[in-house]
Structure 1
Amino acid sequence: MARSPVWASRPRTRGLVLDLIRAARTISRVELATATGLTGATISEVVRELIGDGLVVEAGRGLPTGGKPRTLVQLNPVARYSVGVQLERNACVIVVVDLAGRPVARTAFHGVASMPPERALPLVAAQVDALLTTAGVDRGKVLGVGLVSYGPQDRGAGVLLTPQPTEEWYDHPVAPRLAEILDLPVLLDNDAAAAAIGEYWLGAVDPDSTYGCIYMATGIGGGVVVAGEVYRGSTSNTAEIGHISVDVHGEECSCGNVGCLENYAGPSAVVRQAAQTPDLARRLALDPAGEDFLTEFARIAAAANAGDPQARELVERSARYLGHAAVTVATLFDLDLVVLAGPSFTVAGSIYQAVVQDQLDRRLFARRAHSVRVVPSVNGSDAAAIGGAVLVLQSELVRGRHDEARPVPTGAGGTP
């Protein structure tokens, strides 16, 4: 007998149902049928399969609605896990998350930037193995690794297209190599896009909204999510707001543009500006020759919060530049919300939030049609690493609803 279109697209249907269960926390089969437009029989069969696979469990009964109380279902968080690895210029953060996207283990270390990739990636793999062992996670339940970093990137091939932190990293097959070492699928993605989608998976934003994420670690990146989908553009190198020009007469950036936002508002720029303010540099014991910009920036941000006028002036100047970029992105994409994510917002987030909100309230083209709220990430400084793990969950479990690059399979040497 010929199979119906519903059964022919079973992976898509399973993904749709699983994502609705995830978003709702608990939901009945009747509610799933209403939300999807599928028949009750189809929903019952799909839910039965998901329960059989251990991905979903029954969670008691809902409140009476005049008839028999409906049985509720929810995700089984311990059914699957994924790993997120954020590869920064100065540091590496690794998290393990469960099926609901909640972190169950974390580690971080420095020194990756000073190593060539052939030394750094085995170190990262060893840290992943150790974290899974410490957390007691069954490796058979691990779907894969989300490796997130700065751009530009070729996500399909799993390579970085930037000579940072050193020339040796340019065009190096970071995802295939890490997959080979770990014997796990590895997905390469942009850190800002990962941070953005993590907000959606954890239910921190309206699932139907269009929102942007400004991600600031050592550099500045951005991501836009439309109804739960990362806006990818032609090569997934989108919303790179750190390389929006804010001064057409500015100095040339290493990216080839001139007057890039990152060179005025990024942590390294703020540290350089502070080093040129002798009193402030001396008070905060800044190292003019140092390259740990995250630590130096955190000192300046802490001083700004404590009321130091010179530190406050530098941070607020950075925030005004960032607000300018937020207005640009919000105007281009007609955003509902802007999320501030990344370790550089950990200390000075309240200053940036207030300044960026003020810029949007006063300057946004569509401000008379609707407001745009600025909020901190629910995932804090680990937003990119958690988002990387979430991208693996989304890619593996909600397949058929996304045009995401598939994770590079173990042992792969090119586009999957």
Structure 2
Amino acid sequence: MRRGHNLGAVGEFNQAVILDLIRRAPDGLSRVEVAQASGLSAQTASNITRRLIDGGLVREGERLITGPGKPRTLLRLNASSRYTVGVHLDPTVITYALLDLAGSVVADHRARTPTAPDPAGVIADMAHEISAILERQSIPREQVLGVGIAAPGPLDASRGNVLDPPMLDGWDVVPLRDALSQATGFPVVLEKDVTAAAIAELWVDSGPRRDNFAFFYYGTGIGIGLVINHEVLRGASDNAGDMGHIMVQADGPVCSCGRRGCVGDLVVPHRIVQRALAAGLIAADSPVDRADFDDVDRLFTEFTVLAMRHDAVSREIVMGVATQISRAIVSIVNLLDVDTIVFGGPFWRRIEPALLGAIRHLVNTDPALIPKHPIHIENSGIGEDVAAIGAGCLVLDQSLAPHTSALLISR
């Protein structure tokens, strides 16, 4: 639990601590409980809660009688006082999520990602869709804290640039953050998609299993979002999480990087589709590669339906994928000592019934696993829009959540 500090120089941090406490208490907190939970003096806590009420972020609810003395007034988050918009740029689809102050999804929308290499046109479409979703929900612009955008890496986060991500032709050094801000008039923050997914999990679930965990993102490609000691791990250039070149099969096929058996080349949907086609489980009129997004999506769904029948051929494919993913996870667990792996992403829900149990068993029985604590393998409860929701939560997190970095003295 975050606790405040009774120092005059950290007022914004203390305000974020108290707002976070109230946000995470759906039944409300009294001022006395706020002071006790935050570690702040009663006067400091009272002054801050008054500012939050005056700013419309917190509202006073019913009075609670707990015994002799004055009834306590419960404080609750005013979720409809502020909003954010999260956008996820994926090679196949652009997802939009409008979130309220609690991080709940108010509205969402999906649009096919144009295949033409035209970043300027895509950014203009994004701005139009953001305006449209606000108009449909009758949200005044002044109530919008900002826009978060999740994009595949690599990124230059300091400059807000997208740096030639795979399967997005023409997106080489595109100033996505500033261009979208100029087009919308809102402040924009840019984050790597797998990191945004981990942020969504942190914002929605603050329990102990979210102190040290990894988010395995399963979409058109794969990646890993990392959280250590309840803080997102971004790395020196904000590009942490590219796990695709972890070697999991020594005699595997040659990857585009020149090495053999890279997990990102073995377990992604288009590779599963190709194996299923070669085995005769499904059929296509012509060969399918990773750029055939619609065909991959359709055929992948066909395979996942067949995989639930547990015939010998589909089971062999499923167990191969489970083994390869599990080996990569064990490497990550050994390196970082996380105790929970959360799976999610736009392709995960379809194949999860066939994969999750096998991965859970393989990880926890792998002789290469070093930590002696159980490794919890679970599904994200957020759904396919997790990266877009995480992008919106990123704005909430940067605007409202307490961060110990706020206490560092600037040089």
Normalising to structure 2: TM-score of the pair?
A: 0.89
Give aligned pairs, total: 397
- Greater shift after overlay, 102-111 or 390-399? 390-399
In structure 2, the CA distance between the partners of 1:145 and 1:308, relative to structure 1 (3 Å rule), is farther
Distance 1:129 1:221 in 2: 30
Residues 175-214 of structure 1 mapped to structure 2, 5 A cutoff = 175-203=177-205, 205-206=207-208, 209-214=211-216
Distance 1:194 1:264 in 2: 24
What displacement does 1:82 show? 0.6
The one of 376, 386, 390 equivalent to 2:389 is: 386
Give the aligned partner of residue 363 of structure 2.
360
Report the AA paired with residue 33 of structure 2. Answer: E
Distance 1:185 1:320 in 2: 43
Q: RMSD between aligned alpha carbons?
A: 2.4
1:69-128: per-residue Cα shift (whole Å, max 9, x none)? 432212111011111111111111111010111001111111334342011111122111
3-state DSSP of counterpart to 2:282: helix
Distance 2:299 2:56 in 1: 47
Give the aligned partner of residue 316 of structure 1.
319
3-state DSSP of counterpart to 1:27: coil
- Greater shift after overlay, 238-247 or 347-356? 238-247
Residues 333-412 of structure 1 mapped to structure 2, 5 A cutoff = 333-363=336-366, 365-366=369-370, 368=372, 370-398=373-401, 401=404
Q: Residue 328 in 1 paired to residue 366 in 2? A: no
3-state DSSP of counterpart to 1:89: coil
Distance 2:299 2:68 in 1: 62
3-state DSSP of counterpart to 1:58: strand
Asked if 1 retains the 8 angstrom alpha-carbon contact of 2:267 and 2:321, the reply is yes
Give the aligned partner of residue 266 of structure 1.
268
Give the aligned partner of residue 238 of structure 2.
236
Asked if 2 retains the 8 angstrom alpha-carbon contact of 1:197 and 1:228, the reply is no
In structure 2, the CA distance between the partners of 1:335 and 1:86, relative to structure 1 (3 Å rule), is same
What displacement does 1:30 show? 2.1
Asked if 2 retains the 8 angstrom alpha-carbon contact of 1:207 and 1:227, the reply is no
Asked if 2 retains the 8 angstrom alpha-carbon contact of 1:204 and 1:378, the reply is no
Give the aligned partner of residue 222 of structure 2.
220
Q: Residue 136 in 1 paired to residue 102 in 2? A: no
Give the aligned partner of residue 411 of structure 1.
none
The one of 160, 163, 167 equivalent to 1:161 is: 163
In structure 2, the CA distance between the partners of 1:183 and 1:235, relative to structure 1 (3 Å rule), is same
What displacement does 1:47 show? 0.6
Distance 1:236 1:224 in 2: 12
What displacement does 1:287 show? 6.2
What displacement does 1:199 show? 1.5
Distance 2:119 2:65 in 1: 56
Give the aligned partner of residue 73 of structure 1.
75
Asked if 1 retains the 8 angstrom alpha-carbon contact of 2:94 and 2:112, the reply is yes
What displacement does 1:173 show? 0.8
Give the aligned partner of residue 108 of structure 1.
110
Asked if 1 retains the 8 angstrom alpha-carbon contact of 2:60 and 2:74, the reply is yes
Give the aligned partner of residue 407 of structure 1.
none
Report the AA paired with residue 365 of structure 1. Answer: L
3-state DSSP of counterpart to 2:170: helix
Asked if 2 retains the 8 angstrom alpha-carbon contact of 1:361 and 1:367, the reply is no
Report the AA paired with residue 72 of structure 1. Answer: L
3-state DSSP of counterpart to 2:158: coil
Distance 1:91 1:374 in 2: 27
Asked if 1 retains the 8 angstrom alpha-carbon contact of 2:97 and 2:389, the reply is yes
Report the AA paired with residue 9 of structure 1. Answer: V
Distance 1:79 1:147 in 2: 21
Asked if 1 retains the 8 angstrom alpha-carbon contact of 2:282 and 2:303, the reply is no
3-state DSSP of counterpart to 2:391: helix
1:303-327: per-residue Cα shift (whole Å, max 9, x none)? 2124454334323321221111122
Structure 1: gaps (5+ residues): 404-416
Asked if 2 retains the 8 angstrom alpha-carbon contact of 1:96 and 1:105, the reply is yes
Give the aligned partner of residue 19 of structure 2.
18
Asked if 2 retains the 8 angstrom alpha-carbon contact of 1:164 and 1:170, the reply is no
Asked if 2 retains the 8 angstrom alpha-carbon contact of 1:152 and 1:237, the reply is yes
1:361-391: per-residue Cα shift (whole Å, max 9, x none)? 21263553x2121111111111111111001
Structure 2: gaps (5+ residues): 407-411
Asked if 1 retains the 8 angstrom alpha-carbon contact of 2:6 and 2:41, the reply is no
Asked if 1 retains the 8 angstrom alpha-carbon contact of 2:90 and 2:113, the reply is no
Distance 1:168 1:219 in 2: 18
- Greater shift after overlay, 114-123 or 96-105? 114-123
Distance 1:125 1:398 in 2: 26
Asked if 2 retains the 8 angstrom alpha-carbon contact of 1:23 and 1:203, the reply is no
Asked if 2 retains the 8 angstrom alpha-carbon contact of 1:395 and 1:402, the reply is no
Normalising to structure 1: TM-score of the pair?
A: 0.88
Asked if 2 retains the 8 angstrom alpha-carbon contact of 1:345 and 1:352, the reply is no
Asked if 1 retains the 8 angstrom alpha-carbon contact of 2:228 and 2:338, the reply is no
Residues 17-36 of structure 1 mapped to structure 2, 5 A cutoff = 17-25=18-26, 26-36=28-38
Asked if 1 retains the 8 angstrom alpha-carbon contact of 2:84 and 2:99, the reply is yes
Distance 1:92 1:59 in 2: 39
Report the AA paired with residue 216 of structure 1. Answer: Y
Asked if 1 retains the 8 angstrom alpha-carbon contact of 2:94 and 2:111, the reply is yes
What percent identity do the matched residue pairs reach? Answer: 32
In structure 2, the CA distance between the partners of 1:306 and 1:234, relative to structure 1 (3 Å rule), is same
